[in-house]
Every structure is written in C-alpha cells, then in structure tokens.
Amino acid sequence: MLSAVGYEELPWYIDPNERDLIPRSARRRISTTYQASIPASIANLSPAVPEAISARIDDLLMRLARFDEAQAARGYDLPALLLRSESAASSQIEHLTSSVRNVALAELSNDAPANARIVQGNVAAMREALRLPPDISIAQIEAIHRSLIEPTGASFGGELRDEQVWVGGTAYSPHGALFVPPVPSRIKGCLEDLVAFVGRDDVSPIAKAAIAHAQFETIHPFIDGNGRTGRVLLHRILRNEGVLTRTTLPVSAGLLHDVDAYMEAIEAYQGGDYLPIVESVLNALELALVIGRRVSGLIDDVMEDWRSVISERVGSAIWRLPPLLAEQPVVTIAYVAEHLAITPRAASTLVARASEYGMLRPLGSRRRGDFYQSDELIDVLEEISSMSGIRRMLAR
C-alpha cells in the first residue's frame, strides 16, 4: 500500500522590511510556522492493478510494440516530429505556448520569442533523455533538467533546489498553498528512493512510469520546470522498459486532453491512491497512440506527394531533404549545407528548387540569414500541438 504524504511543521521567517511590502490581505495569512510535505517511500512499493486495468495495459503494450516496430521501415524520422508535439503539449500544461515555427526557429537563432526558447528547451530535454544510458540516476535527472532550462538563459538548470517552493497560493509564503513539497534537505533521499523504485523489474512498465512521475512531482526537486522534467522522465522510463524504443508518442497531448483529471490524479496520489495516476497515464498513452497513427498517415501523404514531384535523378541531394525537414521543418541554407554535407552554393540551389516544388517557402530575412519553412509539416505539427487541434483530429 502507498501511504499518503506526511507533513512536518517548520519555522517560517520573513524579513520585517520585506513584510511591510506585502499586501495586507496576504500578510494576514503569514504565520511563524508552515507545514512541508514528507513524501512516502516507494522503493519497496508493489502496486496492485485491478484486472480490468491490467488487461488494458497488456493490450496497449502490444499495440505500442507494433507501432514502434513500424517506425523502422519509414524513410523519415516520425519520432522527431512527434517529439515536437510532445514538447509543445507538455509546455501547454504549464500554460506556456508558442507556434511550431517559432520553436523551430529557436533551434537556429537566438532571435526567437522567449516562450519559443522555453518550449525548445523541452525539445532539447526530450532528446537528452532519450540519448542517456538506460539506468536512471539522480545525475541523469539533473542532466534532463539542465537541457530543459539552458535555452532560457536561466542559471539554475540541473541544480537541486536549496530553498522552499510551493504550488499555488501567493508568491509571498507557503501559507495557503495548494501543496508544499519537502524541504531541500530531504530532496536527495527522496530522489534516491525514486531511483530505486524505477530500477525494479517486477512492476508493470506503465504503472511504474505513472507512479514514478507522480512521485517526482511530489518531490518537486527543482526551483522551476518540475512538471516538464517529470513528463520527460516518464518517456525515459517507457524507453528503458522497452515500451517505445524507436519512437516517441505525444503522451502530454493525451494528458492535456483532460488536464483536470491529470491534476486530480496527482493530488489523489499524494493522498495515498496511485490508481488514478496509472489510469490517467494509461488513458493518455491510448490517446497518444491514436494521434501517432493519424499523424503518421498525414506525414506519409506529404512525403509521397514530395516524392512524386521531384524530377532529379535518384541519389541527388534533394532526395535527402524531406527526411531532414521531418527533423527540422524550418531551415537555413547553412543548416541544409551542414546536414546534407554539401556546399553552401549547392544548398542554395537545392533550397530554391525545393521552393519551386512547394516543399519550402521563404520566411524573409532575420538577423542570421534567410529562413525557409515547410508549410505542410508545420500545419500537421500545429494541429497536434494544441488542444483544439487534437480535438479536431480526433473528431475526423
């Protein structure tokens, strides 16, 4: 059985000079002590999943394996596209939004909007997580967080917090907060307990990923970026467990589909009930698989259309452009030259030809040169990177 989080009462100090700057309504809530949570240990937890849910998990694992296997036969990187959708949806859960184009621009230029750089950090963190060795450690979790935060220019990436944080309430104190994570001195021990649980081989993969994610959110080990880091960790566990070894599914899009149920499930977990978060992640994965299949069909159609119009001989560099655009739907001539290993002059000619075919469209000059985007790929990505777009896709 999972125990509910415990609490400990601790002193709260605020500088008298700062207190005078706090609005009276908030000041009345502040007292000399506060309660911080003590997460339950899960290292030895043996979660029991009801038969009906277990059957759904087994069925989903088989369908995920078939979808994952199919990616090996594709001539382009569908996982790279779905990774972008996952990162955008995960950021939207935290109320961070940006266009797909601006996120792609953020990978090529520092002249992108702030929110685009934040979402691009999520893309970088996902890539970092999926490159890491299989054994999850505290150092790996720190590396994922560092990749997430660095594109924003903040200096705390990868550093476990050394101050108290809280969720909800006011910015002035933890009094009245929705949840107060553990004090900094408990973080390392809590993460060691989490890592021990993740390392076990006797827990269902989806139950393990869901419980580990909820436990991570309960620990809240960083000053900021915990939600996004925790969802990246969920993907890392699914990869470790062999659930998705070749592809990435937009699990966060599934969570975003019913974000209230997701938040309630984490709250229930903190109250000692892990089944709601297991069901929430299971529901999200089922929905993500539907999205993944529909997106793969749409992208297959785009790629086939491009193949039908290219008149250059097989082996010409332009045949290698579509897979590159699947990874990076906004490019510069310099980017194309570097990644296709051709000269800038040849890349310029290739981009001009691709623009004639309708594969690319010039965006106009920015500080770092001319940018070109694939409208068709951007349109697909935009549709699966917002809740309204996901609902339209599912309604077809």
Judge contact between 83 and 360, C-beta under 8 A: no
Instruction: Tell me: do 44 and 188 sit in the same domain.
Output: yes
Q: How open is the CA angle 60-65-69, to the nearest 5 degrees?
A: 150
**Rounded alpha-carbon distances, angstroms, from residue 173 to 19, 31, 186:** 11, 9, 20
Report the alpha-carbon distance of residue 285 to residue 254 in Å, rounded.
7
Taking the model in full, what pTM does it have?
Answer: 0.87
- Average pLDDT per block of 10 residues along the chain, 396 residues long: 94 84 83 96 95 96 90 71 73 72 75 76 75 87 89 89 94 92 98 97 95 97 92 90 84 84 96 97 93 87 94 93 90 94 96 96 66 90 70 67
Domain limits at 184? 6-294
Supply the pLDDT for residue 372: 94
Supply the pLDDT for residue 364: 64
Domain contains 302:
no
Domain contains 341:
yes
Domain contains 389:
no
Instruction: Tell me: do 106 and 240 sit in the same domain.
Output: yes
Backbone torsions φ then ψ of 160, nearest 5 degrees? -60, 140
Judge contact between 33 and 180, C-beta under 8 A: no
Supply the pLDDT for residue 366: 47
Sheet holding 330-332, edge to edge: 330-332, 369-373, 361-366
Report the alpha-carbon distance of residue 136 to residue 129 in Å, rounded.
10
Report the alpha-carbon distance of residue 235 to residue 62 in Å, rounded.
17
Number of domains forming the structure of the chain: 2
Terminal C-alpha separation, the chain: 42
Domain contains 13:
yes
Domain contains 396:
no
Q: Could you tell me the CATH number of the domain that includes residue 98? A: 1.10.3290.10
Instruction: Tell me: do 199 and 327 sit in the same domain.
Output: no
Domain contains 393:
no
Report the alpha-carbon distance of residue 251 to residue 183 in Å, rounded.
30
Q: Which of 90, 60, 247, 212 is nearest to 140 (CA)?
A: 212
Residue after which a domain boundary falls, among 294, 322, 349 = 294
Instruction: Tell me: do 205 and 331 sit in the same domain.
Output: no
Domain contains 300:
no
Residue after which a domain boundary falls, among 247, 266, 294 = 294
Instruction: Tell me: do 213 and 327 sit in the same domain.
Output: no
Instruction: Tell me: do 194 and 119 sit in the same domain.
Output: yes
